[in-house]
Structure 1
Amino acid sequence: MQKSKTETLIQKYLSHQLNEQELEELKLWIEEDASHREIFVKLLSLHHVNNQLNLLHQFDKEASWKSIQHRCNRSHTIHRRIAIYSSAAAIAILIGITSILYFNGQKPVPAIAQNEQPQQSPLPKNTETPKATWVQANHSVVPLYENQREINGSHINNGEIIFPQESDSPHKPKLATELLQNKIIVPKGSEYAIVLADGTKVKMNADSHIDFPVQFGDTREVTLEGEAMFEVTHDEARPFIIKTHDHAIYVLGTTFNISAYPDEELSVTLIEGKLKVNAPSGEYYLLPGEHYSSAQSKVSKVDTEFYISWTEGAMEFDAMPFPLLIARLSRCYNVDIQIASKELETMKFTGVIFRNKPLDFALDIIHRVSDVKFEKKGETILVKKQ
């Protein structure tokens, strides 16, 4: 296919003027080479940005363009991620990779069928609503709020709890740490941060919990289920160990992300430093920019932003299976979303959703740019093929 012909087909696609034969030609060109798909996705994402400006009350075009230039210059290639930022708002775009969807010029319709739409909001900001729960060593349960006064020597502020630091009492006698275990539980629809006794920072994602001692001994060991970003304080004499699923991650001092939700693969992404993963299949050593996957039992080089973007208020996807996308939305917004059409289970998506936008906004974006629809049934949202 000649370049001029390709340009004509893309232009007609964007203006909704393709006939069936031309649409098939465009599909063949896109599937012919991975670079073709990347070019098409980039152009399509920019086109949808222009079409969806009416969804935003404020849009700083200059800041948005600078952001595009920054992200492109950083890699000097066309990223498969579709994300455009602005100082006032951000646009979420999801593109189905398994199929090329042709949109007619119909007027927008509600993302969720029926009049009964769920009233969702961004991450809880009401200080009267607990963002996490602290199960203390004596089994007492303490709700944790956005801002709170000191509790048992621990300071709480801006969604973060700082436990008494070892550096403040260097000569304090060691405790029987195996008998004095804390647990922080973060529910669906929330996030929370903690600073452990050794100064290690942990940012926890929704539907996650971590077990850790009141005070560390000769080793520093915690147990995680869910997802968390760690910034481990360096201490060569005491390795930091995270146990999750049937794995153990050994750290000296580094920054990394772990995702270990039940019924999902365990993944470890290293940002800086070094670490070792002990898995049933063997030992794996990670360098910065590398990612371990339990499903593939291997280490690979990745774009780490796909794995840590949630810590900055976004969820980025790169060819993510549709069921995993739905699971993340359910955790993020604390709502039950179920796939009702089996054919959707094989779809994959690339894109980004921003956590400061309500669920309706995210679902509306998915509905507009993909071949799915949402229906409310009681307290459940069903996802069906359009």
Structure 2
Amino acid sequence: MQKSKTEALIQKYLSHQLNEQEFKELKQWIEEDASHREVFVKLLSLRHVNNQLNLLQQFDKEASWEAIQKRCKQPHSIRYRVAIYSSAAAIAVIIGIASILYLRHQESSSLITENNITKTEKYNIVPSSRATLVLADQSEIKLYSNHQEINGSHINNGEIIYPQENSKEADQPVLDTILLQNQLKVPRGSEYSIVLSDGTKVKLNADSHLDFPVQFTNIREVTLQGEAFFDVIHDPQRPFIVKANDHVVYVLGTTFNVTAYPGEDVSITLVSGKIKVTSPTGEYTMTPNEHYSSQTSQISQVDPELYTSWTTGAMEFDAMPLPDLLARLSRCYNVDLKLASKELENMKFTGIIFRNKPLSFALEILHRVSDVKFEKDGETILVKKQ
């Protein structure tokens, strides 16, 4: 295949525009030489478009790999070796995902067995837009995708919009005390968005809660359990405060992601602006493209898309341990995925899973790229070594 055509195919792949014939051509190029595979897997793991386009000029076998090593500043790291563990796992993830994306239902799945009977049809489920609004008196209102209006709040396409501070509704006194403090609960297998009274937008991931006031006063403060992406309206007179487990994030106006599930490490990724984080181990100031983890209590430079891709319908992972990946899938699809063998805990994966695809597709990817199989045990899916 000519170099220019290969570059065009890879660019189309990165923007999810390949048709079936083009996918077959790209797959053939990937499989014909090991250096092609290494180039391709690194392009996906880097993910940032500018980095990818700069690397596209380097497709001569040894030269291409040397360029990528120099760019990544980590030649043949342990993490990379683990990422391609088990039949070149990271590369196979890419090929497996592409097959699912472009070949759709042409291949049948036989992954989950129960008494030797295929059960994958039960797992053709995709994440939805559902949530529950809990009022101050603990009464609950189910929120669905259809158009609604609740106590002056408008609901449309998986988003609830509260009366804005500069609107006529907000100027009217709030007489009903049950409206003063609300909670938005997003169950497993769902996502939901909210526009707070100051215009701040919050997108909640699966199995997450957000406590917030119907109208802010001189303090803008919310409490998060789970994961959410914040796009905060700038207001220098009223800093925006996010409480998450034993961490507090102070914001003036910025975009950032917070992950704070019970029993898990707190993770904060800044996309734009500036934030201050206080934690039991100290105080940290973050600038764009920085990531904080409570596991290490350190700030590091990252590609924010690895932590925010869920907001655009994808689930990106780079050398992610299998237990962490299964936890994400369990929340995303509202299922229980558990490891049946400790020897699988050290497996790591690099790739993308698109959230509008059924669970069976995600499991098919894991099956293709590694020596794992799936077995149904009641309502739990056990992940075992083949």
TM bracket (short chain): 0.7 to 0.9
Pick closer, same or farther for the CA change 1:284–1:300 going to 2, 3 Å. same
- Distance (Å, rounded) in 2 between the aligned partners of 1:319 and 1:164: 43
Pick closer, same or farther for the CA change 1:101–1:373 going to 2, 3 Å. same
Q: What aligned pairs does 1:259-278 form with structure 2 within 5 A after superposition?
A: 259-278=259-278
Q: Is the 8 A contact 2:125 2:359 kept in 1?
A: yes
Aligned to 1:123: 127
Aligned to 1:202: 202
Number of aligned residues: 316
The residue type paired with residue 148 of structure 2 is R
Pick closer, same or farther for the CA change 1:338–1:220 going to 2, 3 Å. same
What do residues 200-236 of structure 1 show as CA deviations (whole Å, max 9, x unaligned)?
0000100001000111111100000000000001110
Aligned to 1:73: 53
1:303 partner SS: coil
What do residues 53-106 of structure 1 show as CA deviations (whole Å, max 9, x unaligned)?
xxxxxxxxxxxxxx99877116777599xxxxxxxxxxxxxx962624279xxx
1:349 offset after TM fit, Å? 1.3
The residue type paired with residue 101 of structure 1 is S
Pick closer, same or farther for the CA change 1:102–1:294 going to 2, 3 Å. closer
Aligned to 1:337: 337
- Distance (Å, rounded) in 1 between the aligned partners of 2:348 and 2:332: 19
What do residues 344-384 of structure 1 show as CA deviations (whole Å, max 9, x unaligned)?
11121111111011011110111011121111122111101
Q: What aligned pairs does 1:312-331 form with structure 2 within 5 A after superposition?
A: 312-331=312-331
- Distance (Å, rounded) in 2 between the aligned partners of 1:295 and 1:343: 23
Pick closer, same or farther for the CA change 1:202–1:181 going to 2, 3 Å. same
Pick closer, same or farther for the CA change 1:276–1:74 going to 2, 3 Å. farther
Aligned to 2:382: 382
Q: What aligned pairs does 1:114-263 form with structure 2 within 5 A after superposition?
A: 114=116, 115-117=118-120, 118-124=122-128, 131-169=130-168, 180-263=180-263
Pick closer, same or farther for the CA change 1:242–1:178 going to 2, 3 Å. farther
The residue type paired with residue 258 of structure 1 is V
1:112 offset after TM fit, Å? 1.9
1:14 offset after TM fit, Å? 4.9
2:211 partner SS: strand
Q: Is the 8 A contact 1:339 1:382 kept in 2?
A: yes
1:180 offset after TM fit, Å? 2.6
Higher helix share goes to which structure?
A: 2
What do residues 12-54 of structure 1 show as CA deviations (whole Å, max 9, x unaligned)?
x9579xxxxxxxxx9xxxxxxxxx8xx75444699xx9xxxxx
1:108 offset after TM fit, Å? 8.4
1:192 offset after TM fit, Å? 0.3
- Distance (Å, rounded) in 2 between the aligned partners of 1:260 and 1:96: 27
1:139 offset after TM fit, Å? 2.2
Q: Is the 8 A contact 2:132 2:186 kept in 1?
A: yes
2:216 partner SS: coil
- Distance (Å, rounded) in 1 between the aligned partners of 2:262 and 2:273: 27
Q: Is the 8 A contact 1:191 1:203 kept in 2?
A: yes
Task: Quote the sequence identity (%).
Answer: 57
The answer to whether the aligner puts 1:350 opposite 2:350 as a matched pair is yes
The residue type paired with residue 139 of structure 1 is Q
1:263 offset after TM fit, Å? 1.7
- Distance (Å, rounded) in 2 between the aligned partners of 1:155 and 1:276: 32
Aligned to 1:97: 83
The residue type paired with residue 83 of structure 2 is I
Could you say what the CA RMSD is over the residues aligned between the two structures, in angstroms? 3.4
- Distance (Å, rounded) in 1 between the aligned partners of 2:86 and 2:123: 32
Pick closer, same or farther for the CA change 1:373–1:293 going to 2, 3 Å. same
Q: Is the 8 A contact 1:337 1:382 kept in 2?
A: yes
Q: Is the 8 A contact 1:177 1:214 kept in 2?
A: no
Q: Any gaps of 5 or more consecutive residues in structure 2?
A: 1-27, 57-66, 73-80, 90-106
- Distance (Å, rounded) in 2 between the aligned partners of 1:181 and 1:75: 51
The residue type paired with residue 164 of structure 2 is Q
Aligned to 1:84: none
- Distance (Å, rounded) in 1 between the aligned partners of 2:48 and 2:211: 40
1:303 offset after TM fit, Å? 0.4
- Distance (Å, rounded) in 2 between the aligned partners of 1:194 and 1:137: 17
The residue type paired with residue 162 of structure 1 is I
Pick closer, same or farther for the CA change 1:218–1:45 going to 2, 3 Å. closer
- Distance (Å, rounded) in 1 between the aligned partners of 2:305 and 2:269: 10
Q: Is the 8 A contact 1:177 1:217 kept in 2?
A: no
Q: Any gaps of 5 or more consecutive residues in structure 1?
A: 1-10, 17-25, 27-35, 50-66, 81-94, 126-130
Pick closer, same or farther for the CA change 1:258–1:176 going to 2, 3 Å. farther
Q: Is the 8 A contact 2:321 2:347 kept in 1?
A: yes
Q: Is the 8 A contact 1:313 1:355 kept in 2?
A: yes
What do residues 315-356 of structure 1 show as CA deviations (whole Å, max 9, x unaligned)?
000111111100000000001111001111112111111101
